[in-house]
């Protein structure tokens, strides 16, 4: 098994694990962490796809670096919104039914 194939399989595994956690857990902080795990899986898959032949393509690596910066910003925004929901409702979970 080559290392790019191993990286790709681990990336797919991380993505599916994060997707499962987003669907199953109702707590907002766990959902935010699960989305970060999904993003890490995508980053690992992009790094695995960068080595297609003897040379390494630098474009996926640049996309991963940019994606990390965007993921940090999105996480900060999501945590801020989660804290706002917690201040308004008293809990860090989304309501099951919309208010009327």
- The DSSP annotation for the chain comes to --HHHHHHHHHHHHHHHHHHHHHH--BHHHHHHHHHHHHHHHHHHHHHHHBSSSSBPHHHHHHHHHHHHHHHHHHHHHHHHHHHHHHHHSSSB--SS---
Tell me the pLDDT tens digit for each residue of 25-73. Answer: 889 999 999 999 999 999 999 988 887 767 788 888 899 999 999 999 9
What residue ranges do the domains of the chain occupy? Answer: 3-89
- Residue 100 predicted with pLDDT over 70: no
Question: Is CATH 1.10.287.3510 correct for 3-89?
Answer: yes
Percent of the chain past pLDDT 70, that is, above it, reads: 93
Mean pLDDT of the 71-81 span: 96
Of the pLDDT bands very low, low, confident and very high (cuts 50, 70, 90), residue 74 is very high
């Amino acid at each position: 098994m080559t290392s790019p194939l191993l990286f790709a399989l681990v990336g797919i595994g991380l993505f599916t694990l994060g997707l499962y956690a987003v669907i199953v857990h109702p707590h907002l902080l766990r959902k935010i962490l699960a989305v970060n795990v999904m993003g890490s899986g995508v980053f690992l898959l992009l790094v695995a796809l960068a080595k297609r032949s003897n040379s390494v393509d630098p474009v996926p690596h640049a996309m991963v670096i940019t994606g990390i910066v965007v993921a940090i910003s999105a996480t900060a925004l999501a945590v801020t919104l989660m804290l706002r929901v917690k201040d308004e409702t008293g809990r860090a979970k989304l309501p099951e039914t919309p208010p009327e």
